[in-house]
């Protein structure tokens, strides 16, 4: 049948079972929005307050569901407003298709109104991108975009479509999407045997699990490997939830804000096994002093990551799930382990501590959120102290339960991501742990949550400063607090109510439970809880820049 380019776009979205798209209209996408209007019974369009909110919502939707998130924006500033969200998804390997409108083909390259070379701009932060100038190529490009976004190491793909292409008519034939194949194991039996021998002979093995474990769906295999061999496990920020946070072999985060147990274990291990992690600077800190007595084994689907940041002695590039299954069948079962017992004793000796002095502390707030949600909520975060407190204190036991901007560290990410996650997982309670600095950046998305009756909770840890930057200024810049105080008198409760949300103010520990219970009971309105915390509360532990991770500041 003959369809317009805009109609073909809708049909291709339906081919890929897209049920939700986040976007903001404009001139270059009018034809697409007209087609969306006619397809509203099949595809739900969420009108965000800003294009960046759309990209973060698509990202949160993808992380929470494992599906491809889809966002849509017009040409020029609409497209450029997506860029931060696209880069966020790229750094954290999130499958996303970003669709942008473009000026007509006749106007390309002429500095036309709202023209920008969005494919050139996004080339470094997309897995692939396209500009579509021919309607006959549109369907195949869209199908390929969805395939690329999901295949192998996931990532965002941008499809820029000229306006005349969305109006042009061509023949459309429905096709079944090309299935993403289950990647082969990617390593030889000899490499598996060698890795198993190394694990069996190690006395102090240690595992760092990253976001790649969740992407690979290898959570069960990770748990089996750890428990069979009594190997302690730490997480990167992106890996939280890939190993049960309640397991006695779990040691918490590793690196700059890692627990003392994790960082000591790394420093004393004789075999360091990284799985689906990329050895970022926040994990390894001083590369010359990282795991000084350990051989490094790195298991990852992306061969470009192996050896990029650290010397790897046992590289295993391939399908993480299949590699772990093979290793589990080859390794010896350990009934006991002095090393594991030592790690467990360290956990008791070096717990995360905070003052319990009758003052409202973020640690207490996160503990109460964990208890009242029975550890079953999806937690999104902004970026800064709020992010690390949420990572340290809430115990994540399931994959896709912790959603945060890890690689790019995008302030303003959490609210949009929270909306996307809640829409994707309506059966779950989704809570955005925020700082007031990050929250200000995209707080207009509260209007989106109100309009669509998305019952998210914003736990706003309000210290009236840019907390993490201020903490660095105090610890490493002799307390020269340059431009980090943002005590602007904003009444966040009144602001929430102005948007149509529920606003609650909390200043004392004894008010926390009632506020959270009220928020958790809301079924069709977002809730903002303004927790007034002390500006001098800090994230500990912290490793000073350039120091080995064993040299932590704890208070």
Q: What is the 3-state secondary structure (H, E, C) of 33-65?
A: HHHHHHCCCCCEEEECCCHHHHHHHHHHHHHHH
Q: What are phi and psi of 277, to 5 degrees?
A: -125, 160
The reply to whether 272 belongs to the active site is no
Closest CA to 4 of 167, 175, 172: 167
Structural tokens at position 38: 């006619």
Structural tokens at position 352: 């995360």
Chain centroid offset of residue 410 CA: 10
Cis geometry, peptide bond prior to residue 541 (ω within 30 degrees of 0): yes
Placement of tokens 């290898």 in the chain: 218
- CB 131, CB 104: distance < 8 Å: no
Query: Which of 140, 171, 202 is the last residue in one of the domains?
Result: 171
Give me the torsion for CA of 10, 112, 114, 166, rounded to 10°: -10
Which uninterrupted H or E stretch holds 26?
none
Do 165 and 217 lie in one domain? The reply is no
- CB 17, CB 71: distance < 8 Å: no
Rounded to the nearest 10 degrees, the angle between the axes of helix 135-150 and helix 5-15 is 30
452, part of any domain:
yes
Per-residue pLDDT of the chain in tens (555 residues, 90 and over written 9): 999 999 999 999 999 999 999 999 999 999 999 999 999 999 999 999 999 999 999 999 999 999 999 999 999 999 999 999 999 999 999 999 999 999 999 999 999 999 999 999 999 999 999 999 999 999 999 999 999 999 999 999 999 999 999 999 999 999 999 999 888 999 999 999 999 999 999 999 999 999 999 999 999 999 999 999 999 999 999 999 999 999 999 999 999 999 999 999 999 999 999 999 999 999 999 999 999 999 999 999 999 999 999 999 999 999 999 999 999 999 999 988 999 999 999 999 999 888 888 899 999 999 999 999 999 999 999 999 999 999 999 999 999 999 999 999 999 999 999 999 999 999 999 999 999 999 999 999 999 999 999 999 999 999 999 999 999 999 999 999 999 999 999 999 999 999 999 999 999 999 999 999 999 999 999 999 999 999 999 999 999 988 999 999 987
Q: Does residue 374 come out as left (phi exceeding 0), alpha (psi in the -120 to 50 range) or beta? A: left
List, in order, residues 6 or more apart from 371 with CB less than 8 Å away: none
Among residues 191, 439, 468, 499, the one annotated as catalytic is 468
Do 331 and 438 lie in one domain? The reply is no
Please state, in angstroms and rounded to a whole number, the distance separating the CA atoms of residues 424 and 63. 9
Placement of tokens 């704890």 in the chain: 554
458-460-466 Cα angle (round to 5): 135
Structural tokens at position 413: 């990410």
Do 216 and 314 lie in one domain? The reply is yes
Do 215 and 339 lie in one domain? The reply is yes
The reply to whether 52 belongs to the active site is no
In 271-335 the beta strands, taken as DSSP E runs, fall at 271-275, 295-300, 314-317
Do 196 and 50 lie in one domain? The reply is no
Q: Which domain holds residue 318?
A: 189-349
Range 304-312, long-range pairs (CB < 8 A, 24+ positions): 305/278, 305/279, 308/278, 308/279, 309/278, 309/279, 309/280, 309/281, 309/284, 310/279, 310/284
Do 212 and 276 lie in one domain? The reply is yes
Among residues 14, 15, 67, 114, the one annotated as catalytic is 114
177, part of any domain:
no
The model carries a pTM of 0.97
Query: How many domains is the chain built from?
Result: 3
Please state, in angstroms and rounded to a whole number, the distance separating the CA atoms of residues 13 and 174. 11
Residues, the chain: 555
Do 63 and 150 lie in one domain? The reply is yes
Please state, in angstroms and rounded to a whole number, the distance separating the CA atoms of residues 379 and 459. 10
Among residues 127, 150, 163, 321, the one annotated as catalytic is 163
Do 411 and 371 lie in one domain? The reply is yes
181, part of any domain:
no
Q: What is the CATH number of the domain that holds 269?
A: 3.40.50.1220
Residue 553 DSSP code:
B
Closest CA to 492 of 526, 522, 529: 529
Distances (CA, A) of 503 to 233, 289, 480, 525: 39, 48, 34, 10
- Pairing state of beta strands 96-102 and 44-47? unpaired
Give me the torsion for CA of 136, 142, 148, 149, rounded to 10°: 160
Placement of tokens 């990572």 in the chain: 391
418, part of any domain:
yes
The reply to whether 540 belongs to the active site is no
Query: Which of 323, 349, 375 is the last residue in one of the domains?
Result: 349
* pLDDT given for residue 336 in this prediction: 87
Structural tokens at position 120: 């050139």
229, part of any domain:
yes
What is the maximal distance between C-alpha atoms in the chain?
72
Do 138 and 198 lie in one domain? The reply is no
Do 243 and 371 lie in one domain? The reply is no
* pLDDT given for residue 114 in this prediction: 97
Among residues 51, 191, 221, 445, the one annotated as catalytic is 51
Residue 174 DSSP code:
-
- CB 146, CB 176: distance < 8 Å: no
Q: What are phi and psi of 465, to 5 degrees?
A: -145, 165
* pLDDT given for residue 353 in this prediction: 84
431, part of any domain:
yes
* pLDDT given for residue 555 in this prediction: 78
- CB 254, CB 275: distance < 8 Å: no
Residue 219 DSSP code:
H
27-28-30 Cα angle (round to 5): 65
The reply to whether 297 belongs to the active site is no
Please state, in angstroms and rounded to a whole number, the distance separating the CA atoms of residues 290 and 95. 31
H runs (alpha helix) in 445-491: 446-451, 467-476
538, part of any domain:
no
Q: What is the CATH number of the domain that holds 486?
A: 3.40.50.970
Structural tokens at position 172: 């459309």
Residue 336 DSSP code:
-
Which uninterrupted H or E stretch holds 400?
none
Structural tokens at position 41: 């019974």
The reply to whether 11 belongs to the active site is no
Do 324 and 410 lie in one domain? The reply is no
Please state, in angstroms and rounded to a whole number, the distance separating the CA atoms of residues 43 and 423. 13
Do 9 and 34 lie in one domain? The reply is yes
Query: Which of 317, 349, 381 is the last residue in one of the domains?
Result: 349
* pLDDT given for residue 509 in this prediction: 97
Give me the torsion for CA of 20, 25, 30, 35, rounded to 10°: 10
354, part of any domain:
no
């Amino acid at each position: 049948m003959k369809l317009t380019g805009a109609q073909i776009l809708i049909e291709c979205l339906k081919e890929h079972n897209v049920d939700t798209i986040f976007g903001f209209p404009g001139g270059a996408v009018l034809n697409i929005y007209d087609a969306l209007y006619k397809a509203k019974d099949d595809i739900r369009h969420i009108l965000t307050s800003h294009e960046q909110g759309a990209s973060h919502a698509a990202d949160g939707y993808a992380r929470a569901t494992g599906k491809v998130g889809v966002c849509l924006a017009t040409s020029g500033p609409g497209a450029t407003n997506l860029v931060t969200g696209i880069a966020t998804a790229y750094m954290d390997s999130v499958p996303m298709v970003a669709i942008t409108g473009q000026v007509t083909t006749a106007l390309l390259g002429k500095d036309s109104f709202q023209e920008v070379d969005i494919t050139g701009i996004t080339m470094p932060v997309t897995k692939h991108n396209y500009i579509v100038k021919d309607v006959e190529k549109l369907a195949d490009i869209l199908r390929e975009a969805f395939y690329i976004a999901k295949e192998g190491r996931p990532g965002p793909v941008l499809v820029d479509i000229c306006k005349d292409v969305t109006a042009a008519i061509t023949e459309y034939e429905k096709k079944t999407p090309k299935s993403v194949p289950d990647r082969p194991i990617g390593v030889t039996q000899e490499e598996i045997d060698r890795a198993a021998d190394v694990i069996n002979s190690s006395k102090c093995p240690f595992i760092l699990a990253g976001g790649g474990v969740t992407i690979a769906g290898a959570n069960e295999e990770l748990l089996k490997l750890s428990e069979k061999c009594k190997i302690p496990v730490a997480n990167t920020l992106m890996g939280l939830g890939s190993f049960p946070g309640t397991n006695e072999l779990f040691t918490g985060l590793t690196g700059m804000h890692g627990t003392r147990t994790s960082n000591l274990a790394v420093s004393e291990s004789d075999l360091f096994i990284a799985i689906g992690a990329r050895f970022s600077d926040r994990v390894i800190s001083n590369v010359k002093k990282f795991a000084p007595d350990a051989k490094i084994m790195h298991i990852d689907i992306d061969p470009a990551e192996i050896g990029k940041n650290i010397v790897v002695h046992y590289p295993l590039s391939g399908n993480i799930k299949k590699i772990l299954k093979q290793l589990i069948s080859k390794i010896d079962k350990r009934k006991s382990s002095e090393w594991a017992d030592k790690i467990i004793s360290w956990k008791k000796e070096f717990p995360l501590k905070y003052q319990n002095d009758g003052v409202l502390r973020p640690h207490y707030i996160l503990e109460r959120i964990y208890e009242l949600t029975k550890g079953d909520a999806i937690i999104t975060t902004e970026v800064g102290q709020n992010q690390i407190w949420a990572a340290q204190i809430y115990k994540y036991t399931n994959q896709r339960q912790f959603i945060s901007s890890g690689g790019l560290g995008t302030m303003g990410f959490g609210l949009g991501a929270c909306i996307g996650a809640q829409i994707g997982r309506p059966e779950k309670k989704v809570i955005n742990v925020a700082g007031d600095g990050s929250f200000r950046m995209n707080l207009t998305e509260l209007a989106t949550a109100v309009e669509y009756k998305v019952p998210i909770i914003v736990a706003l840890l309000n210290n009236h400063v840019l907390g993490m930057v201020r903490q660095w200024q105090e610890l490493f810049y002799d307390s020269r607090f340059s431009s980090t105080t943002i005590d602007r008198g904003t009444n966040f409760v009144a602001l929430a109510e102005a948007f149509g949300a529920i606003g609650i103010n909390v200043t004392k520990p004894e008010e926390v439970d009632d506020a959270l219970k009220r928020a958790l009971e809301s079924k069709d309105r977002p809730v903002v809880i303004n927790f007034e915390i002390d500006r001098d509360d800090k994230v500990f532990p912290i490793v000073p820049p350039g120091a080995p991770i064993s040299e932590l500041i704890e208070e």
